[in-house]
Amino acid sequence: RSEQKVTLTRNILGSTAAVLIPAKRRNADIITALDVLYSGAYRRLPSVLRETFEDYKTITDEQVVTTLNQLNDAILYRLRLHEIVPVPMSQYRVCDGRAWFAAPGLFEVALTVTGPEETDYWYALDMKFLVEADGNDADAVADFPSDPHPWLKGQIISNLNEQLALNSDLDLDIGDPFEEAPRRKLRDPSKIDTPLVRAYNMLQTLSLSYELEILYQQAMRQLKLGWQDVMTVVMEPNRKSFVVEYWRRQPQAGPSLVSQPREGHPAMRPETAPLLGGTLTFSIVSNASTSSSSSSSSASQPHVANVLSLLEQKIKSAGEQMTQTRTPTDSEEPMQLRVEWKPIMTALAIPVLQADMDLDLRVDPSKVDFNALMRSVTRTHSQAILRAVHLQLVKPGQKTVFSSEDVELTEDNDTWGCALRIRLCPSQTALLSVDPRTGKITMKDIGVFAAANRSGKFLSVVKYVNKFPGLLVGVIRVLKFETIFFELEQQARYLGLHATKNIN
């Protein structure tokens, strides 16, 4: 055993000595130190280095300013005489040897050129998205900043440079140096190259996808904050759209007849309520249909920017000889983030009017907020349902038991956004509302003489109408009769009279 320890110790010492050899400090070079100390330079360089090495001259500030001004002139010359600039990028500025293009609500990118010649190409220096999450959502702001993370920005700029130089005739040093550069096709001389159009199409798609991912993350976070039972979020495999379903309900297995029919009265059959309140779809779609549909009106009221862009494109495509027009290699592909709301018109088995469901849903790129959009949709839907109930309660007919003064629609409720104030009797008033989150009906007593012993009755009524929402109007009418009978019975007992209910 002692021999094993000695052998192990010898091996460890040998390995340690082998490791320390490269770490050994060099001996001090006294001659070199004295040369540098007295002359300030190293005199004993090999002749090969002295002959091939060339010291770079320092560039003065005046030369830097002159070079940048010449580069600014070259950029302006190309933009004004040769390059086809997309309409959203037409408001650009040139300074410090680069051109800043800003597409409102999409992106901002800085481009420059390699030189003043026609064969020189564009390449990107910097970019950022003009898309931001709502400031109240700190997690989304941290995960999706307007200025992308360095690794993401590097990938975007690298791919953008490949698109800018796609039809260049020069051998370019762009892309991943460890990957073999793809073989590029020779540019057709009968076509005019449009690198800025390709850059716009690429950055536009990335900006809209960035905005869609922010909305999806906010929807998934809201799903975990108490909405998982009433809402679903499904993203498409291509990540170009996702669908949100709200007010989901569990199927209710109830009896075919809610109440036994009496003589001369029809049976109350519950209407089956849909298991869904509606859908909200966020998708990236082409905007070509919108532009084509508005072309007829554009003839009478032309858009100045579009007309100027069209004239500029025709002039630049004609070339110097102005004899034949060259077709562009790429065309602008307008895209948009569309929000489509498809509500179930008979949600809660209560038909609503189409006029009450009109809602303009648009996403503000500077303040992306899924919660605000969802709250606007559910509040509008709940308000439409309450308006439909209001019309049915005060509708003239044989079954009318409420006057217009008994039912009042209030839209200044901070909690629900809208509520029905129903006067059951002079001393008792009920507040009917629809929960925007769950889509369930709620009711509470807000009368002047509201009693705690009546809360149980309201709870049973709410539980019943949520199970069979199609019978809501009939239940409210019955509730009014029962409330009046109860008040009369209480007043009779207070006066010492004997009161008996007649069921028939």
pLDDT tens-place string over residues 91-141? 899 999 999 999 999 999 999 998 888 788 899 999 999 999 987 888 888
Residue 218's pLDDT is what?
94
Residue 259's pLDDT is what?
47
pLDDT > 90 in the chain, percent: 32
Q: With beta carbons less than 8 A apart as the criterion, state whether 172 and 152 touch.
A: no
- Taking only the tens place, the pLDDT of each residue in 206-250 is 999 999 999 999 999 999 888 999 999 999 999 999 999 999 988
Q: With beta carbons less than 8 A apart as the criterion, state whether 122 and 165 touch.
A: yes
Is the pLDDT assigned to residue 455 strictly greater than 90? no
Q: With beta carbons less than 8 A apart as the criterion, state whether 438 and 230 touch.
A: yes
Task: Look up residue 53 and give its DSSP letter.
Answer: -
pTM of the model: 0.78
Tell me phi and psi for residue 394, to 5 degrees. -105, 5
The tokens for 194 are: 């449009």
Alpha-carbon gap, residue 354 to 365, rounded angstroms: 29
Length of the chain: 504
Q: With beta carbons less than 8 A apart as the criterion, state whether 247 and 230 touch.
A: yes
Q: With beta carbons less than 8 A apart as the criterion, state whether 280 and 244 touch.
A: yes
Task: Look up residue 368 and give its DSSP letter.
Answer: B
In 3D space, the residue among 89, 159, 81, 84 whose CA is nearest the CA of residue 334 turns out to be 89
Question: Nearest 10 degrees: CA dihedral of 391, 392, 397, 400?
Answer: -100
Alpha-carbon gap, residue 111 to 126, rounded angstroms: 7
Mean pLDDT of the chain: 81
What is the identity of the amino acid at 416?
W
User: In this structure, how many other beta carbons lie within 10 angstroms of the beta carbon of residue 368?
Assistant: 26
Is the pLDDT assigned to residue 174 strictly greater than 60? no
Alpha-carbon gap, residue 324 to 317, rounded angstroms: 8
Q: With beta carbons less than 8 A apart as the criterion, state whether 249 and 275 touch.
A: yes
| CA Rg value for the chain | 38
H or E stretch at 361: none
CA 45 to each of CA 34, 36, 76, 271: distance values in angstroms, whole numbers, following the listed order: 15, 12, 48, 98
Is the pLDDT assigned to residue 298 strictly greater than 50? no
The tokens for 335 are: 């895209």
Residue 448's pLDDT is what?
54
Residue 1's pLDDT is what?
65
Binned at pLDDT 50, 70 and 90, residue 296 comes out as very low
- Helix ranges (H only) for 101-168 are 138-143, 150-164
Alpha-carbon gap, residue 171 to 120, rounded angstroms: 11
- Taking only the tens place, the pLDDT of each residue in 365-413 is 999 999 999 999 999 999 999 999 988 888 876 566 788 888 888 876 5
Residue 262's pLDDT is what?
47
pLDDT > 70 in the chain, percent: 78
